[in-house]
Amino acid sequence: MIDRLLLLGATGDLAGRFLLPALAWLTAAGRVPDDLQVVGAAAQDWDDETFRAHVAGRSAAAGELPDDAGRALLARLRYRRFDAGDPATVAAAVAALPGDGPVAAYLALPPALFPATLRALGAAGLPPGSRIAVEKPFGADLAGAVALDALLAEVAGDERAVTRVDHFLGMSVVQELLGRHAAGGDLTTGWDLATGWDSRSVEEVEVVWEETLGLEGRADFYDRTGALRDVLQNHLLQVLVLLAMEQPADGGEQALHAAKLDLLRSLRLADPTDPAACTRRARYTAGTLAAGGASAAVPGYADEDGVDPARGTETYAEVLLAVDTPRWAGTRFRLRTGKAMPASRKGVAVHPRTAGPPRWTPLEEPERGTGAAPGELAAYCRVLTDVLAGGSVTSVSGPEAEEAWRVVEPVLAAWAAGTVPLLGHPAGTAAPPPLR
């Protein structure tokens, strides 16, 4: 397991809410090397103590950390200023890590900074055995994904040295799906189906992530990304793939990625001749959102600070897909996600062909036992374990990432051409009626 971690973007939201608290949980559980060294790097001109104070404050706000875990993590931390446009600062951050073994470089950064940062890491000369982790979205379209994969191959040298992080793959319910596949288990169990896990029993599968949160000050990232690129094209599509794919040839990770890729290649819009009939987009207008047991008025998305209304960024996206395999001929697969919704829902609904309601399974972490990280932190614990240990279960391969963009390219084209209208709904209310 790698014992030198470079966290680029260490003062950002992802690092503060998930990565650093997850490291604290892993430290408390003894699941990272005893001599793990961590250098955080970001734009602020801080010293080690300022960074440690910042991390301590974020950890206290996160709550629920085990006893002494925060202090154990703080003792490992160093800090260096980092500028993606200045390769010398990246080299200095790498050099600040004690020792000379491989480095795990985690880019907790906006995707726009990936190219310059990766080139700087290449110039710094990472030691043999090092790994590079990047967060989704992997490019902004198919061409961007191809370019990113080429740059990762140039810098990392080996696909096995790259982790394209999708933390949904670390969530407990998704891990259960992976476990069933690895064991050759029956995915019918738990869905109340008559005959089997196929189109004979399943009329429709929905994969949903709806949240009550609005923009929450993330305009700089979100307004250049939108709901389809932020959630649907990666998180939700990965869950669909794990639900619909055939059993891997064996229990190994390479067989898993091969099976996922086969399924992605079989995906298409439900009606390839009419993309407008297979997708819906909307964004929230002024309304009221539930917050901490109370209600708060919020402006419309287009009026939020930092938003350029001319971009037409959507906060709700829905896509209907079909799977061109004998198992799934005639079954609809519906992906949908939205912000500023009346209730939070993250899960899978299976609609049987027989009479009866759909069977809903949440993707949220279940109630945890003593000593387990809560919520999405547990997923990031699995992500960091994979990054440090060289696993790929929580990673998306390069070919998978490119195929995922191929699936949604017709949607992006239809939206860019204006053939799919940008609808609206008041914050705190349901989005437009689902596609039929």
Give 381-394 pLDDT, tens digit per residue. 999 999 999 999 99
CA angle, 379 as apex, 373 and 382 as ends, to 5°? 95
Mean pLDDT score across all residues of the chain? 90
226: left (phi over 0), alpha (psi -120 to 50) or beta: left
The mean pLDDT of 298-302, rounded to a whole number, is 95
| Domain 4-135 in CATH 3.20.20.80 | no
Domain chopping of the chain, boundaries: 4-135, 168-364+401-426
The mean per-residue pLDDT over the stretch 102-112 comes to 95
pLDDT (tens digit per residue) in 251-262: 789 999 999 999
pLDDT at 367: 47
Neighbours of 73 (CB within 10 A): 26
* pLDDT attached to residue 67: 59
Residue 332 has pLDDT above 90, yes or no: yes
- Model confidence at 314, in pLDDT bands (50, 70, 90)? very high
pLDDT-derived band at 29, boundaries 50, 70, 90: confident
The interaxial angle of helices 114-124 and 142-156, nearest 10 deg, is: 10
C-alpha triplet 226, 229, 232: angle, nearest 5°: 105
Residue 98 in this model has a pLDDT that exceeds 80? yes
What is the pLDDT at residue 66? 60
Looking at the DSSP bridge assignments, the partners of residue 280 are: 318
Which has more pLDDT, 275 or 183?
275
User: At residue 246, does pLDDT exceed 80?
Assistant: yes
For the segment 247-251, the average pLDDT, to the nearest whole number, is: 84
pLDDT of 49 strictly over 60: yes
Instruction: Please write the tens of the pLDDT for every residue from 419-429.
Output: 999 999 999 99
Contact 42, 143 (CB under 8 A): no
3-state secondary structure of 351: strand
Q: Give tens-digit pLDDT for 351-366.
A: 999 878 888 888 876 5
pLDDT at residue 369 greater than cutoff 60? no
| Per-residue pLDDT reduced to its tens digit, 223-237 | 999 999 999 999 999
Residue type, 118: L
**168-364+401-426: CATH superfamily:** Dihydrodipicolinate Reductase; domain 2 (3.30.360.10)
- Name the pLDDT band for 195 (thresholds 50, 70, 90): confident
On the question of pLDDT at 62 being above 60, the answer is no
Sequence-ordered alpha helix ranges (H) in 29-136: 48-62, 69-74, 87-95, 114-124
436, with CB counted inside 10 A (0-12, 13-18, 19+), is exposed
